[in-house]
């Protein structure tokens, strides 16, 4: 299947004040054409939905998330999954996306090919209710390159999803470079 990600061109602006100059940066993301295997995407979405069933929460069971990933540097091309964990002590849990990526980092994998994310109880909601949080976006960014695709479950009786590449997921992602 051919996926065409349309270009995004948003012109920035500058505003000059008496003591400050404020600049809103341009966002220019080129059109991208990707080829993906429909069966692989469907398998990833199904794996993410299944993983969401294994979430852990002592607080409630309303917010559960599953993530499924194929790492580009995994010669076997396996689908790996993770679920979110919400602990009694707030801020000590972990999101599904970071859960699986931290695990795979410990296995030596460093580059995501495809990731699918599912929030089964939010499938009928807008993308902002189903997309990764800021910490997860940065973590995905760290383990991705320009070829990485993220599929966000939109859920129907057939597989349906939104797709983002790295530029559309986090256009101003942080890259650490050591000073020389």
Q: Tell me: the pLDDT tens digits for 94-105?
A: 999 999 999 999
How much is the pLDDT for 47? 97
For residue 68, what are the contacts with CB-CB under 8 A and spacing of at least 6?
44, 45, 47, 48, 51, 79, 80, 81, 100, 115, 116, 118
Q: Tell me: the pLDDT tens digits for 70-111?
A: 999 999 999 999 999 988 887 788 999 999 999 999 999 999
Q: Burial level of 163, CB count in 10 A (0-12/13-18/19+)?
A: middle
Q: How confident is the model at residue 175 (pLDDT cuts 50, 70, 90)?
A: confident
How much is the pLDDT for 7? 97
- Average the pLDDT over 138-150 and give the result: 96
How much is the pLDDT for 104? 98
Bridge partner list, 94? 85
Whole-number Å distance between alpha carbons of 130 and 47: 16
Give the chain's mean pLDDT. 92
pLDDT at 8 over 90: yes
How much is the pLDDT for 88? 81
Cα 127–Cα 133–Cα 137 angle in degrees, nearest 5:
100
| Pairing between β-strand 85-86 and β-strand 56-57 as defined by DSSP bridges | parallel
pTM of the model: 0.92
- Average the pLDDT over 150-176 and give the result: 90
Q: Phi, psi (5° rounding) for residue 152?
A: -110, 115
How much is the pLDDT for 113? 98
Q: Tell me: the pLDDT tens digits for 26-72?
A: 999 999 999 999 999 999 999 999 999 999 888 766 678 999 999 99
Q: What percent of the chain has pLDDT over 90?
A: 80
How much is the pLDDT for 178? 61
How much is the pLDDT for 53? 93
């Amino acid at each position: 299947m051919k996926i065409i990600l349309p270009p995004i061109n948003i012109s920035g602006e500058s505003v000059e004040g008496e003591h400050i100059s404020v600049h809103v940066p341009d966002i220019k993301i080129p059109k991208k054409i990707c080829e993906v295997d429909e069966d692989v995407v469907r398998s990833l979405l199904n794996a993410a939905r299944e993983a969401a069933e294994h979430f852990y929460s002592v607080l409630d069971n309303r917010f559960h998330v599953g993530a499924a990933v194929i790492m580009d540097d995994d010669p076997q091309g396996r689908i790996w999954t993770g679920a979110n964990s919400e602990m009694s002590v707030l801020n000590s849990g972990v999101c599904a996306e970071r859960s699986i990526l931290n695990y795979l980092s410990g296995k030596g994998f460093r580059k995501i090919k495809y990731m699918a994310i599912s929030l089964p109880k939010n499938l009928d909601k807008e993308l902002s209710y189903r997309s990764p949080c800021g910490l997860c976006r940065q973590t995905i960014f760290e383990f991705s390159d320009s070829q990485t695709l993220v599929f966000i479950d939109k859920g129907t009786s057939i597989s349906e999803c939104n797709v983002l590449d790295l530029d559309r997921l986090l256009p101003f992602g942080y890259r650490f470079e050591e000073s020389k």
